[in-house]
């Protein structure tokens, strides 16, 4: 006999009934923001061709993908993130859409990381991507949406970690460092290996003065975004392109602070992200009670053309929905409203089962979520079961109710009970629902 594992693969989690309401609420919050900010939702396959991510994803992604071959020998992967698949859509099926294109998605992604708190091998992302606009307002919009999400999700005390790899790339380009080597330098910085990144820059640089400028920016102390940016602009003043990138960040922050509290925007001049397709503004969001990012993103001009589409700019971000859910449950100890039927219908005798089943149907047709208890029990036990399930109303039918053609309906919150004639159940249930909506 085959032994079947009762747990999912390591690092992948079941979402249990008590957790599902919060998971669903977070997904619904993302979809509310799609509507509010004008994003059209799309869905892509869980499985993609390996080449899509090999093109520009970076070592951190490539080294942690689930890779396999199909029956025809084609190399496939479980998607490790969603920006590349969305860029594929824009490069292909949506290539003739009017610009800018705003796309949103909710998707489960897979990475072969070492499982730990906040880092799972299967996780949900909710993302927002804009293609076709290089204006600073497109970047700033990401900060506004993420801030909006955090407030709606109930996450308190969080900060935005702001960066701009365009400044780093501008300095490296000015001293002769090629794009692929720049990606390697930024990947080291993302892993906190700044000294190694500086050493690589010195080795590759055609100007030691430029290498020193890179180090000065990379090691500058983080601080309030606009104030720290003023310091960086002074440092890079002699590098026209780097100064232009810093000015771009100034425009983004100026727009964002019109709606986002400036005190939660912290500029980290040495900040980089592991994905090699980033070209400019980047950010991550952190809650006070954990040191892993709850989401992030940035600008990736050129990604669409890299996967075979037109040369259009892009910017976007993903919310780590699985991490946010863990954060709310484990770090903030939020109370989850469990899924409960509004009405619990119970037969009190064997000969009442048929009528009780019909009554449950009438409640549902009236729009009330209704759970039917298939086993006969006493009235006392029926009340106990209904309360344990969190029902608001209990409908009971026994021999006495069948003889009189009524159903006993008990309001478990107000602790009052009345009898409804069978023929009136549908209309009374609709009236009941209206009353609940008015009272809440």
Q: How do residues 143-201 score in pLDDT, each as one tens digit?
A: 999 999 999 999 999 999 999 999 999 999 999 999 889 999 999 999 899 999 999 99
Q: What percent of the chain has pLDDT over 90?
A: 89
Which pLDDT belongs to residue 229? 98
Which of 331, 365, 385 delimits the end of a domain? Answer: 331
User: In this structure, what is the dihedral angle of CA atoms 347, 353, 356, 361, given to the nearest 10 degrees?
Assistant: 130
Q: Residue 3: inside a domain, yes or no?
A: no
CATH code for position 348? 3.40.50.800
Closest of 185, 186, 132, 142 to residue 164, by C-alpha: 186
Range of the domain at 417: 343-439
Is pTM beyond 0.75? Reply is yes
User: In this structure, what is the dihedral angle of CA atoms 155, 112, 189, 291, given to the nearest 10 degrees?
Assistant: 30
Q: How confident is the model at residue 58 (pLDDT cuts 50, 70, 90)?
A: low
Q: Tell me: do 233 and 295 sit in the same domain.
A: yes
Which of 271, 296, 331 delimits the end of a domain? Answer: 331
Number of other CB atoms surrounding residue 200 within 10 Å: 19
Q: Residue 337: inside a domain, yes or no?
A: no
Q: Residue 10: inside a domain, yes or no?
A: no
pLDDT reading at 82 higher than 50? yes
What's the token pair of residue 35? 């509507």
261 vs 433 pLDDT, higher one: 261
Residues forming a β-bridge with 418 = 409
Q: Residue 144: inside a domain, yes or no?
A: yes
Closest of 88, 81, 99, 93 to residue 138, by C-alpha: 99
Q: Tell me: do 261 and 362 sit in the same domain.
A: no
pLDDT in tens, 92-133: 999 999 999 999 999 999 999 999 999 999 999 999 999 999
Q: Tell me: do 350 and 281 sit in the same domain.
A: no
Q: Tell me: do 86 and 185 sit in the same domain.
A: yes
Q: Tell me: do 148 and 179 sit in the same domain.
A: yes
Q: Tell me: do 354 and 405 sit in the same domain.
A: yes
Q: How confident is the model at residue 439 (pLDDT cuts 50, 70, 90)?
A: very low
Which of 331, 355, 372 delimits the end of a domain? Answer: 331
Q: Cα dist. 215→209, 234, 356 in Å?
A: 10, 15, 76
Q: Tell me: do 227 and 280 sit in the same domain.
A: yes
Mean of per-residue pLDDT scores for the chain: 94
Q: Tell me: do 324 and 357 sit in the same domain.
A: no
User: Which strand (E) or helix (H) includes residue 67?
Assistant: strand 66-69
pLDDT in tens, 228-253: 999 999 999 999 999 999 999 999 99
What's the token pair of residue 173? 């380009």
Q: What is the mean pLDDT of residues 306-313?
A: 93
pLDDT reading at 440 higher than 70? no
100 upstream amide cis, omega within 30 of 0? yes
Determine contact, residues 389/341, Cβ cutoff 8 Å.
yes
Q: What is the mean pLDDT of residues 367-389?
A: 95
| Total domain count, the chain | 2
Q: What percent of the chain has pLDDT over 70?
A: 98
């Amino acid at each position: 006999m085959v032994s079947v594992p009762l747990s999912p693969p390591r690092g992948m989690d079941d979402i249990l009934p008590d957790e599902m309401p919060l998971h669903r609420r977070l997904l619904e919050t993302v979809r509310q923001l799609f509507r509010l900010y004008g994003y059209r939702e799309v869905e892509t396959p869980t499985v993609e061709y390996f080449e899509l991510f090999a093109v520009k994803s970076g070592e951190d992604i490539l080294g942690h993908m689930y890779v396999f071959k199909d029956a025809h020998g084609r190399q496939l992967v479980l998607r490790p993130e969603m920006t590349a698949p969305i860029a594929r859509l824009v490069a292909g099926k949506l290539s003739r859409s009017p610009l800018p294109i705003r796309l949103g998605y909710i998707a489960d992604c897979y990475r072969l990381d070492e499982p730990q708190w906040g880092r799972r091998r299967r996780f949900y992302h909710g993302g927002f991507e804009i293609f076709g606009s290089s204006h600073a307002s497109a970047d700033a919009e990401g900060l506004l949406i993420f801030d909006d999400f955090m407030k709606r999700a109930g996450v308190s005390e969080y900060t935005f970690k702001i960066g701009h790899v365009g400044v780093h790339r501008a300095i490296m380009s000015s001293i002769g460092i090629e794009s692929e080597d720049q990606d390697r330098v930024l990947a080291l910085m993302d892993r906190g290996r700044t000294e190694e990144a500086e050493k690589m820059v010195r080795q590759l640089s055609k100007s030691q003065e430029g290498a020193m400028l890179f180090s000065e920016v990379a090691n500058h102390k983080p601080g309030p975004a606009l104030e720290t940016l003023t310091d960086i602009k002074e440092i890079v003043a002699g590098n026209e392109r780097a100064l232009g990138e810093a000015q771009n960040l100034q425009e983004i922050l100026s727009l964002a602070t019109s709606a986002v509290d400036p005190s939660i925007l912290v500029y980290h001049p040495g900040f980089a992200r592991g994905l090699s397709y980033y070209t400019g503004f980047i950010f991550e969001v952190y809650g006070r009670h954990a040191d892993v990012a709850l989401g992030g993103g940035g600008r990736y001009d050129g990604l669409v053309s890299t996967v075979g589409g037109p040369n259009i700019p892009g910017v976007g971000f993903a919310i780590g929905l699985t991490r946010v859910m863990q954060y709310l449950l484990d770090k903030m100890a939020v109370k989850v409203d469990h899924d409960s039927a509004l009405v619990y219908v119970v037969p009190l005798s064997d000969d009442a089962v048929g009528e009780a089943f019909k009554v449950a149907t009438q409640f549902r047709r009236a729009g009330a979520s209704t759970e039917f208890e298939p086993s006969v029990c006493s009235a006392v036990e029926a009340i106990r079961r209904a309360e344990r399930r969190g029902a608001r109303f209990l409908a009971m039918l026994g021999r006495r109710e069948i003889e009189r053609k009524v159903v006993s309906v008990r309001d478990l919150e107000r602790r009052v009970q009345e009898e409804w004639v069978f023929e009136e159940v549908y209309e009374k249930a609709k009236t009941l629902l209206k009353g609940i909506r008015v009272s809440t």
